[in-house]
Amino acid sequence: MVKKVVVTFPAGSAGRSLTYELIKKFDIMVSIIKADIDAGRNGKLVLELDADRERLGQAIDYMKQSGVDVSPLESKITYDSDRCINCGACTSSCLSGALSIQAPDWKIVFQPDKCIVCKLCITACPLKLFHSSFED
C-alpha cells in the first residue's frame, strides 16, 4: 500500500532523522517528494510511504507520538488533452515517465499512475494545460 503524507515538524526538531527511523523501525520504503526543512525552524516534508496497512498505521502513530504533525495527502495532476498541441515541452520535464510522445500519431500520452506530482509539467506547458488538485 502506498500513502502520501505531509509531515510538519515543530521548531527545534527539524534536525531529526525521521526517514531513517521509519525505514529502520517499520521497514517502510520512504520517498521524499518535497522537503522544506531548516534546522531550528518549522519544516515540512511530503513523503510517499510504501508498506502494508498495519506498518503504515504504526509508523504514522509513531510520528504523531513523537510530536510531528502528519496529514494524509491525496494529490493528482490533470491535463486538458483536448486543447493540447503536442509540442512535447511537458515530456522533457517529466522525471517519472508519466508523460511521453508515442508513434505513430506523435500525441502526448499521460499515465497518471506513474505521476509523482512533482508539478514540473505545470511550469513546462506553454498553454498551461496541467493542473494539480490536493485533497486531505
Mean pLDDT, to the nearest integer, of 4-26? 82
Of 72, 88, 110, which residue is a domain's last?
72
Same domain, 53 and 111: no
The pTM of the full predicted model, rounded to 2 decimals, is 0.55
Contact 91, 100 (CB under 8 A): yes
Number of Cβ within 10 Å of residue 78's Cβ equals: 13
Of 72, 94, 113, which residue is a domain's last?
72
**CA-based torsion, 85, 124, 97, 60: positive or negative:** negative
Helix (H) or strand (E) holding 45: strand 43-50
Same domain, 129 and 80: yes
What percentage of the chain exceeds 90 in pLDDT? 50
Span 60-91, pLDDT tens digits:
999 999 888 898 876 788 899 999 999 999 99
pLDDT at residue number 136: 39
Residue 36 φ then ψ, to 5°: -145, 85
